[in-house]
Structure 1
């Protein structure tokens, strides 16, 4: 029997029949809805706290650091004067700014181009089924799994002018000693080669996973239509791999912009400033001297953040246009 406190009834006559229309009690779903909202906030709270503590607050402090004139004493006492954009003007007027900007662009652009190209070639190679495919893929992951300090130290030893294995190998072909890390003309190229070697496994893993999601039926249909390997690559593989390629390039760009360990261990940004980038320059300003320039160092770090943010927004806008089309 239906309780009158919980349900309302009314009779509707139509075509000789009586229909009972039952209305649920108003407000019955509100407690459940509130419980669901509290559960959602409970799940979001740890992530929000993590982002606030480890991202938002450090970013705020870095911006504040770049807008004030911090010395070691002012940093301890907390009474640094506000100077506005003077630290950014100091950075832009520095003779190191243009070389560091050029080196950052070259280091990032060349690294990403070779990492992506070689990673894609290896992903296509391993996409073919053969017996040692899984074993070789695992071996290619070793550079990515090693700590950066180990990889950079290994490359520093290999490219040593006197006892490096690279010069020893080249001497067997009559090539004289090459100063890979101490020559202003070769230092940036040397650290770029090391960074390319370290970043190839990342591109290989991401692009290989993207290839796995392409249906094999498309390649079979293309073969029946008489398409060759090159046509399959341009008409099927590249278009369907575009979303994965885009995120791979963006992540590679962000990671490469902030590379510090490899360059610092191998060349310390030298000789002179021939291999200095924004990352190493910021470290040199903040920690490379007895009297650190903390505020200009923070300004250089913020420039790196702005560059990464600009390319990230370009990626988001491009993806949005692709989704709409």
Structure 2
């Protein structure tokens, strides 16, 4: 009987030892064709400019060598020159203060407004659209508007202060107030972005979770702090990272309002890099590129920290 069963079993075929068929080359070429525009864009708009900026920072460029080429290699001399410059310390401090204060207030106010708009009421959609106006305006328009508002002589802010019995403030011409003025303007411009993204994140949180917390006796603040905010953490991390990268490179607002002055009191790395490269009769392309690379390194450090934190979070 066992012999009959063995006789009926199919004999092994030679196909079992064959390799699985390969994907047709046409499919591979199609995949590369779709990737090619992205690769070309990244190389042309990111890789090559980064390479050129690094090359600028490692050579002694003049106007003639910048146009004709042949700039001598100087190694890290430009970086040493920047680090030993008296402007380096104040510019670094101003960059940290400008970025940190802007992020804290933009995120806090944006989150408060996002929570406020989750309570569906009349005209909520209209008000949300109006809050997006500062984000939609060109930066030159926003900065010019704030320059007019904070003008020492004819500004609306000083006029309001005088109307209630306070003296006027030299917002843009006083070293004590210049950095504060550009920071306020940048906070106003960045709030709509935080509002829009955080509101979308709040909308993605299921309402059942809030209802269950309310049934368990949690107050409104407890529901927000123990339920809403932890669930919003991934969105918050992205918002803070994008806000940090954007704020580090803010140039338009500061340059239009104060040009980094007076007496470098509102100079950041972004404005310092521009002034070194293009703001003088004798441009210093090498040191200007070195300051720009320091900004890139700062942004990359925070980006890598964000990636590391995301990997540590449980999936």
Please give the range of the TM-score, normalised by the shorter of the 2 chains: over 0.9
Instruction: Say which of 166, 175, 183 aligns to 2:166.
Output: 175
Using the alignment, how far apart are the partners of 1:177 and 1:152 within structure 2? 20
Using the alignment, how far apart are the partners of 2:197 and 2:99 within structure 1? 19
> Partner residue of 2:112?
121
Gap regions ≥5 residues in structure 1? 1-12
Gap regions ≥5 residues in structure 2? none
> Partner residue of 1:248?
239
Deviations 1:183-212 (A, max 9, x none): 000000000000000000000011011101
> Partner residue of 2:53?
62
> Partner residue of 1:30?
22
> Partner residue of 1:284?
275
- Equivalent runs, 1:1-325 vs 2, <5 Å: 14=5, 23=15, 29-32=21-24, 34-323=25-314
Deviation at 1:36, TM superposition (A): 2.5
Using the alignment, how far apart are the partners of 1:14 and 1:167 within structure 2? 102
Q: Which has the higher strand share?
A: 1
Deviation at 1:169, TM superposition (A): 0.9
Give TM-score, length-normalised by structure 2. Answer: 0.95
Partner secondary structure for residue 292 of structure 1: coil
Deviation at 1:230, TM superposition (A): 0.8
Deviation at 1:37, TM superposition (A): 1.9
Partner secondary structure for residue 313 of structure 2: helix
Aligned length: 312
Partner secondary structure for residue 60 of structure 1: helix
Deviations 1:88-122 (A, max 9, x none): 00001111000000000000000000000000000
Aligned residues: CA RMSD: 1.9
Deviations 1:34-80 (A, max 9, x none): 33322221111110110000100000000010000001011122111
Deviations 1:270-317 (A, max 9, x none): 001000000000010011111011100000000000000000000000
Give TM-score, length-normalised by structure 1. Answer: 0.92
